[in-house]
Structure 1
Amino acid sequence: MNDYEQHDGLGLAALVRQGHVSPSELLDAALARIERHNPALNAVVTPLHDAARAEIARGLPPGPFHGVPFLVKELVASVAGAATTASSRLYAHQMPAADSEIVARMRRAGLVIAGKTNSPEFGLSPATESLLYGVTRNPWDLSLTPGGSSGGAAAAVASGMVPAAHATDGGGSIRIPASCCGLFGLKPTRARVTAGPEGGEGLSGLAHQHVVSRSVRDSAALLDALAGPMPGDPYSAAPPERPWLDEVGRTPGRLRIAFAKAAPTGVPVDAACVAAVEDAARLCEQLGHHVEEASPDFDAPALERGFEMVFAANTMANIARATGGAMPDRELVEPLTYALAESARGLSAADYILNLQGLHRQARRIAGFFGRYDIWLTPTLAQTPRPLGWFDIRTSDSQAWLAKVVAYLPFTYPFNVTGQPAASVPLHWTDDGLPIGCQFAARYGEEGLLLRLCAQLEAARPWFHRRPPVTTHPPRQTGGRP
């Protein structure tokens, strides 16, 4: 199918409904692109080709994405009969017998699961490198990371393997790779998508699931398909007024948009990232919105410390599920993971609860800012895409590593703490051709408003036609080892 990459997921599904192409032909097109690009990118680490063909042969449900190839991230979500390792040797032999609820919803939407994508161990890193599965590379420049932790998903979508792919976000892991790979990445409101039946919440409520995509409408339609609680979930987000797909194309009205060029913690912001947000602010003003420079007033260092504690404690919990609470043999987890877990062993129950309460106080201060503004616009990241190995998973200095991480993503993790929806929108490219995302955040539960604005930006500054160099001249190169 020669024009496979000229359509988003909804466009491919329309071709199937109209009888112009079959699900098997779409799968063949996806698998051909995986075969062509994966040796260079190492985006797909678990092929499920035979299972995908068998699924089509059994008959697909008539969902909105009927027959569209799709990939699931190798983290959190279980696919029956496929290894679910969290990219860790500690879980290398874990083989679930049943789908997670989100995967069952993917299938009901008509998606055809063709494989699983790379992630760093336990999703810890903003780069996608693991000792189990190796390094994933950025299709815009193979010497750079595609971001993390959903870097395998983003590299697969940006290179045209699939039009959208499953992603998760505990500190920016949807928005970071969306920015690095020139994609749209929406982190939904907290508890918008269930973590069941395996879990109630991830990272003490910081973690979310959704997708990275090449179009806003695919993201909206997939949220319609994937959102909603399961019985027994500890809490859930209020349902939308109307389907999210219906928001695409509706006018957002004249919004009050604040923008920031400086990071809340005062870390340096690259000139290219500043230029991207300045350009986005001008575009919003040209579209009729009220735009001014402003930022919420909160204790950014306290938020940073609290975020780091949650990550360290949950790293120990990820290990404890396999070991019963003991530290594992060192060869079973990466040095960084081991160091983060060790740093959490001295925490008391009171330490952890007081830390969560402190995060909630800062979240209220950030949320108060959205009483004055509808949207906060920032760079998605404080730096351009980093070289491979920049976030060294072999280090045992977890504090220095964490300092490097939070300097990279000072704009993303606050919205994991508040639970508000936030999206990275690919509105800017550097002079040497690297994508730079701009983050737009809205009030809790207002994905509809955010999608209306993002669709307006997409129409004003289209990005769908942009293709990375690897798709035109794919080198035969292995993903490699970190």
Structure 2
Amino acid sequence: MTSVMSWNEWSNLDAIGLADLVRKGQITPKEVAEQVALAIDSLNPEINAVIEVFEDAVNDPMKEGTNPDGVFAGVPFLMKDLGPTVKGRLQEMGSLFMRGNRASADSFLTSRIRQAGLNIIGRTTTPEFGLCSSAENPEVYVTRNPWNLDYTTCGSSAGTAASVAAGIIPIGHATDGGGSIRIPAGVNGNIGLKPSRGVLSVAPYSSDLMGVVSAQGCISRTIRDTAAFVDSCRGGAPGEFMPYWTPQEPYSELIRRDPKKLRIAVSHEWGDYASTPHIVAELERAARFLEALGHHVEWVIPDIDFHTAYEAQTECYIMNFAQTIQGVLEQKGLEKPSANLIEPMCIRVWEEGISASYTQRAKMQSKFNDTSRRVAAFFEDWDIILTPTIALPTPLVGTKEYLTISDNPSVYDWFRNLWGIFSYTPIANLCGLPGISLPMAELENGLPLGIHALTRQGDDGLLLQLGAQIERALNGKWNQGRRPGVHVTSIDAVTQQLSPFSESRRQL
């Protein structure tokens, strides 16, 4: 295989840009897929983000039904190893216990991804069952942050976030059950949108509010890629238990206009949790930037019973993940998890949640309802809630307290510790709200810091409009134009064997 363009040219193109070249006949889907495969070969040994490349999908991009007329025109796409299934492909969910698990059918969203013209060429890393904050079990794999290999990518969409940040792919699949799109997007310098409930299908594996706290989505480098992904992939499968809706105007059109003057409530002190002074200073800087764009910005803490909200989130995740683990145990005809194959905190979560009663679940959902009503009432007066994406700096690799290999004996204490760093994202999952992390800030050590925006349910387009306004104001230079240390542009030019894209193809 040879690369079809220089890595600098490659890194300056988003998915829509690549698709435009394909439609013009300047490159082919196979050539683009081969370029991604070369990038994986070069960078994956350092960041360990991609589990597997589907060589047949690289060699024949339309083999599995990729739509050449879709908006993405055959652009390569990596799937997180969790959530939607891909027929005939392994899905091992970050777990030794699930090694060799192969899907028998495409999920509904997988079919929508193919119809959008995305060529699924591989799968990316995730922590076991998506439960913890980082894809980091040495017995499975350790995914590292391309900005500094000593630090984690966070998670659970770890491998996708690292792959996008390193320039391997412009867009990839992600899921978000409590921040798992937005958090890794934030610490890797990407754009991460968690859509509202009722946008992207969870069929056929989830069917009630316990399941749809988790949303499907993508991580990208440009607002227009995210907008096009949602436009093309949205909608429910036959038999979905709740309505799926479509906006009056496609987001790809909406983002061409600036939003109206917005009422933006800025905060970071949520109940018992608050950000570090440096992160607060970065949030203040982002708030001033938005004020300079013409928006009304004010420091206001949302009127939420934070204790009730965090309690409900904890109860939900314990019940949800207990049932997830129970489901895979039943598939294998087992009565309880094996300590040799399932990580310690996952076992403790199963032990705590598997015997939960319907009464416990009803009380939890009552807390969901109360919190959702309070947040909706707050959005009667405010358009945006602005926070940091994380409250504390990105952890170093090996920080076990946030991992499911933790030896913390208390499930509840473990979750309380998680909320201390991931304080602001789970509220969107609980309430079905859209949330977005934008790469606008920086930690003291130079790693990216996402700025997080929430809005009312169903108003995803407003977040994308605001993101597009910011992107234009920055001249497209997210992360102040910086790139991570592990990046495709660092691939040795001597080994590229470049095709002369710049000279010959650009003249076509």
- Tell me the TM-score normalized by structure 1: 0.94
Counterpart CA distance in 1 for 2:110 and 2:316 is: 26
Deviation, structure 1 residue 61: 2.5
Q: Does the CA-based 8 Å contact 1:179-1:380 persist in structure 2?
A: yes
Match of 2:504 in 1: none
Larger mean Cα displacement after TM superposition, 427-436 or 293-302: 427-436
Q: Does the CA-based 8 Å contact 1:66-1:111 persist in structure 2?
A: yes
Match of 1:37 in 2: 43
Larger mean Cα displacement after TM superposition, 51-60 or 417-426: 51-60
Query: Does 2:273 match 1:259?
Result: no
Q: Does the CA-based 8 Å contact 1:119-1:148 persist in structure 2?
A: yes
Deviation, structure 1 residue 236: 2.7
Match of 2:384 in 1: 375
Query: Does 2:483 match 1:467?
Result: yes
Deviation, structure 1 residue 97: 2.1
Counterpart CA distance in 1 for 2:152 and 2:472 is: 28
Larger mean Cα displacement after TM superposition, 175-184 or 337-346: 337-346
Alignment of 1:80-229 (within 5 A): 80-130=87-137, 133-201=140-208, 203-229=210-236
Alignment of 1:291-330 (within 5 A): 291-324=297-330, 326-330=335-339
Counterpart CA distance in 2 for 1:86 and 1:33 is: 24
Q: Does the CA-based 8 Å contact 1:139-1:155 persist in structure 2?
A: yes
Match of 1:281 in 2: 287
Letter in 2 for 1:340: V
Match of 2:469 in 1: 456
Q: 1:337 aligns with which of 346, 367, 390?
A: 346
Q: For the structure 1 residues 231 and 56, does the alpha-carbon distance in structure 2 shift closer, same or farther, using more than 3 Å as the test?
A: closer
Match of 1:414 in 2: 427
Letter in 2 for 1:415: A
Q: Does the CA-based 8 Å contact 1:84-1:95 persist in structure 2?
A: yes
Specify the SS of the correspondent of 1:127: coil
Q: 1:395 aligns with which of 394, 406, 409?
A: 406
Q: Does the CA-based 8 Å contact 2:57-2:63 persist in structure 1?
A: no
Query: Does 2:20 match 1:14?
Result: yes
Q: For the structure 1 residues 73 and 377, does the alpha-carbon distance in structure 2 shift closer, same or farther, using more than 3 Å as the test?
A: same
Alignment of 1:359-374 (within 5 A): 359-374=368-383
Q: 1:232 aligns with which of 228, 236, 239?
A: 239
Q: Paired residues, what number?
A: 474
Counterpart CA distance in 1 for 2:460 and 2:259 is: 12
Q: 2:29 aligns with which of 9, 23, 29?
A: 23
Deviation, structure 1 residue 111: 1.0
Deviation, structure 1 residue 57: 6.0
Counterpart CA distance in 2 for 1:12 and 1:184 is: 18
Deviation, structure 1 residue 132: 5.7
Q: Does the CA-based 8 Å contact 1:315-1:341 persist in structure 2?
A: yes
Query: Does 2:363 match 1:347?
Result: no
Aligned identity (percent) is: 36
Deviation, structure 1 residue 306: 1.1
Q: Does the CA-based 8 Å contact 2:198-2:245 persist in structure 1?
A: no
Deviations 1:341-398 (A, max 9, x none): 1121342221111111112111111121000001111111101211112223222422
Larger mean Cα displacement after TM superposition, 65-74 or 83-92: 83-92
RMSD: 1.8
Letter in 2 for 1:126: S
Match of 2:55 in 1: 49
Counterpart CA distance in 1 for 2:371 and 2:205 is: 29
Q: Does the CA-based 8 Å contact 2:131-2:404 persist in structure 1?
A: no
Query: Does 2:287 match 1:268?
Result: no
Q: For the structure 1 residues 13 and 320, does the alpha-carbon distance in structure 2 shift closer, same or farther, using more than 3 Å as the test?
A: same
Deviation, structure 1 residue 281: 0.7
Counterpart CA distance in 1 for 2:413 and 2:429 is: 22
Q: Does the CA-based 8 Å contact 1:126-1:147 persist in structure 2?
A: yes
Deviation, structure 1 residue 327: 1.9
Q: Does the CA-based 8 Å contact 1:79-1:98 persist in structure 2?
A: yes
Larger mean Cα displacement after TM superposition, 102-111 or 171-180: 102-111
Larger mean Cα displacement after TM superposition, 458-467 or 346-355: 458-467
Counterpart CA distance in 1 for 2:160 and 2:454 is: 22
Larger mean Cα displacement after TM superposition, 76-85 or 136-145: 76-85
Structure 1 spans left out of the alignment, 5+ residues: 476-482
Q: Does the CA-based 8 Å contact 1:276-1:437 persist in structure 2?
A: no
Counterpart CA distance in 2 for 1:148 and 1:328 is: 23
Match of 1:290 in 2: 296
Specify the SS of the correspondent of 1:223: helix
Q: For the structure 1 residues 346 and 200, does the alpha-carbon distance in structure 2 shift closer, same or farther, using more than 3 Å as the test?
A: closer
Q: Does the CA-based 8 Å contact 2:132-2:403 persist in structure 1?
A: no
Letter in 1 for 2:404: I
Match of 1:480 in 2: none
Letter in 1 for 2:436: A
Match of 1:424 in 2: 437
Counterpart CA distance in 2 for 1:416 and 1:298 is: 15
Specify the SS of the correspondent of 1:198: coil
Q: Does the CA-based 8 Å contact 1:228-1:236 persist in structure 2?
A: no
Counterpart CA distance in 2 for 1:32 and 1:326 is: 44
Letter in 2 for 1:433: G
- Tell me the TM-score normalized by structure 2: 0.90
Specify the SS of the correspondent of 2:349: helix
Counterpart CA distance in 2 for 1:153 and 1:293 is: 33
Counterpart CA distance in 2 for 1:419 and 1:275 is: 29
Deviation, structure 1 residue 76: 0.8
Q: Does the CA-based 8 Å contact 1:40-1:474 persist in structure 2?
A: no
Deviation, structure 1 residue 60: 4.4
